[in-house]
Structure 1
Amino acid sequence: MIRFEDVSVTYDGAPEPTVRGIDFEVPEGELVLLAGPSGVGKSTVLGAVSGLVPHFTGGTLRGRVTVAGRDTRTHKPRELADVVGTVGQDPLSHFVTDTVEDELAYGMESLGLAPDVMRRRVEETLDLLGLAGLRDRPIATLSGGQQQRVAIGSVLTPHPGVLVLDEPTSALDPAAAEEVLAVLQRLVHDLGTTVLMAEHRLERVIQYADQVVLLPSPGAPPILGDPAEVMAVSPVYPPVVALGRLAGWSPLPLTVRDARRRAADLKLQLENAAPEGRGEPRDKPQPPRTRKHSEPPTPVGAAHVQALSVTRARVQALHHITLTITPGETIALMGRNGAGKSTLLNSLVGLVKPSSGTVRLGEATPHRTAPKDLVRKVGLVPQEPRDLLYADTVAAECAAADQDAGADPGTCRALVTELLPGVTDDTHPRDLSEGQRLALALAVVLTARPPLLLLDEPTRGLDYAAKARLVAVLRALAAEGHAIVLATHDVELAAELADRVVLLAEGEVIADGPTADIVVSSPSFAPQVTKILAPQHWLTVPQVRAALEETAR
């Protein structure tokens, strides 16, 4: 169905091709996973299938890409629209209408389908993706994950023969991601749809793949094969594979179920060891004693939310939230899409005014504090990093960040080098991958070294190596006393980094406690290692490795 024949793509002004030697075939009715580190050209390969590369992006495509027999060099994207449905990393750039139902119908209207067919397919898609309750909602009022489901739904309704998906689960909560992947599997198995998907969260998708195409490094030819065989040599792999490599299992398991069947000996080795690290109780600064007839001052670098309620567009986004964040603490905000995580972060940074209740950062009230003063108290890295990036080069972004923060020249650039090794000063932010843009935005925010750092889906678009670098930076900041709050659907990140997990549902806090206590008891938010080694309370592969090394001494 999809055929790449010795394809290379070189963008205008680039000294080297972004991808080269791409030569593989995706058979009809298979789900093929495109994997590899950030920046190796996965989005370029996907864009070549829909014709966006090079017709929209520019540059030179050598070789040949055919979809259902159509050559993408001679067929523009609109001439492939009846065959290929595409969802990119950024759902917002995908939308052309205002409401959910209109967006689902738009693609079919463009193809001239009959109204009764359109109505039936819209209803089917609303049910498939759990969007029925949102059908009349303006898209602008939806959470990032809800928008991503709408974007996926809008390409499903025309029933294309080929689906091209770039990070389709990156903004989805675990339950919603499973629903979307189950829908894709049903399309592949029952309808013969061909799916080519790029995804960094391999723990979610590897079990669904018929084949894996690995791009191991920039410019390197792809490796195509059985998922287990490719994972054995891949530089990126999920925790279940990491645990299998550590334990010496062969063939490597790709699912929690397969790993549990082999874990008996490993559990015996770990039986008398105790997990150390994330989620363990530790000493924290104590707030001052309450003074009679007055509230105590909040410590510098801390935040206190009291009975916070927020109503946005007649929707109750938050309801009586009370939360204290102490210096040096790392908190993971978790919960399904639309639970209120981003609204809570926006309230802490002053972008949203409380309907009732209070938010305090030390002695400051965020929505009443001037931005130039607030930037030294709290920093937010939003879901869409491009919202913070406006200069033409990485160097200009860094210079502006240094100036705005009153930092020494080169401060931001040093952070970029740590988070994004190999990115040059003259690179335009728009030429970075989604994960690379996020890392640049994080460096811009960290330049001011705010006592409170907020991150909204910080691992979206990051591979495992980039995530490890991010974790190292955030741990160092926490050790220096910075408070960190991250809204995330990445259960592996929460297990590795967070001291505490706060679960939200329908705008309310439903659980708040040490990471180990919250995630171990949750089937939805438990990491893979926890599920494999239950009832033992292990969270991450590094914990297991450290314990095995200790017992071997």
Structure 2
Amino acid sequence: MITFEQVGVQYADATAPTLNGVDLTIPEGELCLLVGPSGSGKSTLLGTVSGLVPHFTGGVLHGRVTVGGRDTREHRPRDLADLVGTVGQDPRAHFVTDAVEDELAYGMESLGLPPDVMRRRVEETLDLLGLADLRRRALTSLSGGQQQRVAIGSVLTVHPRVLVLDEPTSALDPGAAEEVLAVLQRLVHDLGTTVLMAEHRLERVVQYADQVLLLTPGAPPVLGEPAEVMAHSPVHPPVVGLGRLAGWRPLPLTVRDARRRAAGLRARLDGARLNGPRPPAPSAASPATPLATASRLVVRRGPVPALRGVDLTLHPGEVTALMGRNGAGKSTLLGALVGLHPPASGSVTVGGRTPHRTRPAELIRQVGLVPQDPRDLLYGESVTAECASADRDAGAEPGTCRALVERLLPGLDDTAHPRDLSEGQRLTLALAVVLTARPPLILLDEPTRGLDYAAKARLVEILRDLAAEGHAVLLATHDVELAAELSHRTAVLADGEIVADGPTPDVVLGSPAFAPQVAKILAPGRWLTVHQVAEALAEAAE
């Protein structure tokens, strides 16, 4: 269905090709998972299939890409619309209407499908993706995850033979991600749809892949069976990391398969010392010294009550994960803490100030927010300009922000324009801009969206250092593995209310939705991460 013949892509002003020597075939009716470190060319390869590369992005395409017999160099994206459906990293960039139903119907209208067919397909898609309750909502009123589901639905209604998806589950809560992946499975198995998908959260998707295509900078692409590729891939999910550590062969890709082999490992860990995120010092965690407090907080977003009587206190040195399904109110709570959403009732204080009544220049010294869309923070013409501006605004030594960028994502081009960066690269730059000011309270909204495992590990290290210095960190995230690795405490929001709040192990171990893979494999033990298991085994061997 998709054939690459010695494909390479070279962008203007780039010192090296983004892709080089891609020569492979993806059969019809298979789900092919595209993996690799950030910057390895995954989004570019997806773009060659949809025709966006080079017709929209520019650059030079070498070799030949054919989809269903059509050469993408000779057919522009509009000429492939009936064959290839594409959903990128940023769903809002694809929207052309204002409401959910209209967006689902737009692609079919463009192809001239009969009204009765359009109506039926819209209803089917609303049910498939759990969007029926949102059908008349404005797209701008939806959460990031809800927008992602609408973007996927707008492609599915056209019934393309090929689906190209760039991180389709990155903004989704665990339940919504499972629903989307179940839909993709049905399309592959029942309708013979070919799916080419790039995803960093491999713990969610690798078990569904028929083949895995590994892209590594400076090395030829590798296409093969998932377990074979994962055995040597530099990026892999926790279940594979645990299998490598335990020496299991073949490597398990699912929690179920890993549990069947884990009896011996559980016995080795019985009685071993369990290390986790170190709690803040007792003096720093004193109830008398909170950095931020929300008391019986109620916030409305138009007619929608987004928060309903939320009580939350954030202490110095503490990392708190804020979890919950899409639309639960996580982003609204973060926005209230930086003054974006004034309370309808109740109160918010940050550093003794009321955020929505405090001048931004004063508030930025107390709290910093990295939003879901990092472009909201980026206005410079280059990475260098953004970093220089961040240093000036924060009163930091020149080069401080650039050093943070290099620590998070080595090798980022200084001259690149922020809009030309990948989603993960833009997020890294926005993180560095906010962290340069080193505010006492740091708020991160989906901070690992677009980040590979190596970049995520570097982010964890930086946030741990900040917490050790007395900063408070609040993460709104669907990344259960991040919460397990980093957070001291986890709070769960549901329909605008906090329904659970406590030490991370206590909260996530009692929840099938929020438990990390290692916890599910090694239950009833309280192990959360591969790192904890590795430390325990190393201590036992001494």
Which interval holds the TM-score relative to the shorter structure? over 0.9
Q: Hey, what does 2:141 align to over in structure 1?
A: 141
CA-to-aligned-CA distance 1:462-509 (integer Å, 9 cap, x gap): 000000000000000000000000000000000000000000000000
The farther-off stretch of 402-411 and 93-102 is 402-411
SS at match of 2:75: coil
**One-letter amino acid of the structure 1 residue matched with residue 271 of structure 2:** N
Q: How does 1:525-536 map to 2 (within 5 A)?
A: 525-536=514-525
Q: Is 1:307–1:320's contact at 8 Å kept on the other side of the alignment?
A: yes
Provide the secondary structure at the position in 2 that maps to 1:338.
Answer: coil
3-state secondary structure, aligned to 2:8:
strand
- Matched with 2:23 is 23
Rounded to whole Å, the distance in 2 between the matches of 1:367 and 1:7 is 52
Aligned equivalent of 2:67: 67
* CA-to-aligned-CA distance 1:344-388 (integer Å, 9 cap, x gap): 000001111111111001211111111111111000001111111
Q: RMSD over aligned Cα, in angstroms?
A: 1.1
Consecutive aligned runs of 4 or more in structure 1 exceeding 4 Å deviation:
279-282, 286-289
Give the deviation of 1:276 after TM superposition.
1.4
The residue aligned with 1:540 is: 529
Amino acid at match of 1:304: T
Residue identity opposite 1:184 in structure 2: L
1:293 is matched with none
Matched, 1:236 2:225: no
1:99 pairs with 2:99: yes
The alignment status of 1:464 with 2:463, answered yes or no, reads no
Counterpart for residue 110 of structure 2: 110
| Shift of residue 420, structure 1, vs aligned partner | 1.7
What does 1:492-503 align with in structure 2 at a 5 Å threshold? 492-503=481-492
Give the secondary-structure state (helix, strand or coil) at the position aligned to 1:12: coil
Task: Tell me which residue corresponds to 1:294.
Answer: none
Query: C-alpha separation between the residues in 2 aligned to 1:501 and 1:277?
Result: 14
- Post-superposition Cα deviations, 1:13-44, rounded to whole Å, max 9, x if no partner, equal 21211111111111000000000000111000
Q: Tell me, what secondary structure is at the counterpart of 1:496?
A: helix
Alignment of 1:170 onto 2:170: yes
Measure the CA separation in 2 of the matches of 1:142 and 1:419. Answer: 30
Aligned counterpart, 1:362? 351
Corresponding residue of 1:213: 213
Against the structure 1 CA distance between its residues 354 and 416, is the aligned structure 2 distance closer, same or farther, given a 3 Å change threshold? same
Q: Which residue of 1 aligns with 2:304?
A: 315
Assess, with a 3 A threshold, how the Cα gap between structure 1 residues 432 and 258 changes in structure 2: closer, same or farther: same
Cα deviation code 1:509-531 (max 9, x no counterpart)? 00000000000000000000000
- Matched-pair contact (CA < 8 Å) for 1:162–1:193: yes
Task: State the shift of 1:272 in Å.
Answer: 1.0
SS state at 2:299 partner? strand
Counterpart position of 1:39: 39
Match of 1:50 in 2: 50
Q: What's the TM-score, normalizing by structure 1?
A: 0.97
Counterpart amino acid of residue 116 in structure 1: D
Residues 329-478 of structure 1: pairs in structure 2 closer than 5 A: 329-478=318-467
Q: Distance in 1 between matches of 2:264 and 2:381?
A: 55
Q: Secondary structure at the match of 1:522?
A: coil
Match of 1:305 among 294, 306, 325: 294
* CA offset digits 1:394-426 (Å, max 9, x no partner): 110011111111112111111111112112322
Counterpart of 1:295 in structure 2 is none
Provide the secondary structure at the position in 1 that maps to 2:534. Answer: helix
Contact kept? 2:285, 2:318, Cα under 8 Å: no
Distance 2:395 2:211 in 1: 51
Instruction: Report if aligned partners of 2:34, 2:212 keep a CA contact under 8 Å in 1.
Output: yes
Instruction: Indicate the residue corresponding to 1:204 in structure 2.
Output: 204
Q: Which deviates more from structure 2 when the two are superposed, residues 60-69 or residues 356-365? A: 356-365
1:430, distance to aligned residue in structure 2 (A)? 2.3
- Letter of the aligned partner of 1:314 in structure 2? P
Give CA-to-partner distance per residue, 1:267-287, whole Å, 9 cap, x none: 000011132113869635354
User: Which residue of structure 2 aligns with residue 265 of structure 1?
Assistant: 264
> How far, CA to CA, are the matches of 1:420 and 1:232 in structure 2?
24
- Name the aligned partner's letter for residue 549 of structure 1: A
The CA distance in 2 between the partners of 1:441 and 1:391, in whole Å, is: 11
Question: Which runs of no fewer than 5 residues in structure 2 stay unpaired?
Answer: none
Query: Which secondary structure state, in structure 1, belongs to the residue aligned with residue 352 of structure 2?
Result: coil
- Structure 1 284/539 Cα, relative in aligned 2: closer, same or farther at 3 Å? farther
Which one-letter code corresponds to 1:250 in the other structure? R
Task: Please give the alpha-carbon distance, in whole angstroms, between the structure 1 residues aligned to 2:287 and 2:111.
Answer: 65
**CA distance, structure 2, for counterparts of residue 46 and residue 86 of structure 1:** 9
5+ residue gaps, structure 1, are: 290-297
Give, in whole Å, the separation in 2 of the partners of 1:549 and 1:59.
Answer: 49
Identity %: 73
Give SS of 1:8's match.
strand
What amino acid is the match of 1:27? P
AA aligned to 2:537 is L
Quote the residue 1:256 is aligned against. Answer: 255
Instruction: Verify the 8 A CA contact 1:21 1:220 in the aligned structure 2.
Output: no
> Deviations along 1:139-192, whole A, 9 cap, x unmatched?
000000000000000000010000000000000000100000000000000000
The one-letter code sitting in structure 1 at the alignment partner of 2:168 is P
Specify the alignment match of 1:227 in structure 2.
226
Kindly provide the CA deviation profile for residues 52-102 of structure 1, in whole angstroms up to 9, marking residues without a partner as x: 000000110000000000000000000000000000000110100000000
Amino acid at match of 2:79: E
1: CA distance, partners of 2:205 / 2:287: 48
Give me the whole-angstrom Cα distance separating, in 2, the residues matched to 1:105 and 1:313: 26
Q: CA deviation at 1:431?
A: 2.6
What does residue 247 of structure 1 align with? 246
What SS does the aligned partner of 1:440 have? helix
One-letter amino acid matched to 1:6: Q
For 1:85-125, what per-residue CA distance to the aligned partner results, in whole angstroms no more than 9, with x for missing partners?
00000011010000000000000000000000000000000
CA distance in 2, matches of 1:108, 1:288: 57
Mapping of residues 142-161 of structure 1, within 5 Å: 142-161=142-161
Contact residue 280 and residue 317 of structure 2 kept, 8 A: no
Give the Å deviation of 1:288: 6.3
TM-score scaled to structure 2, two decimals? 0.99
User: 1:279 touches 1:517 (CA, 8 Å); kept in 2?
Assistant: no
- Kept in 2, the 8 Å contact 1:279–1:514? The answer is no
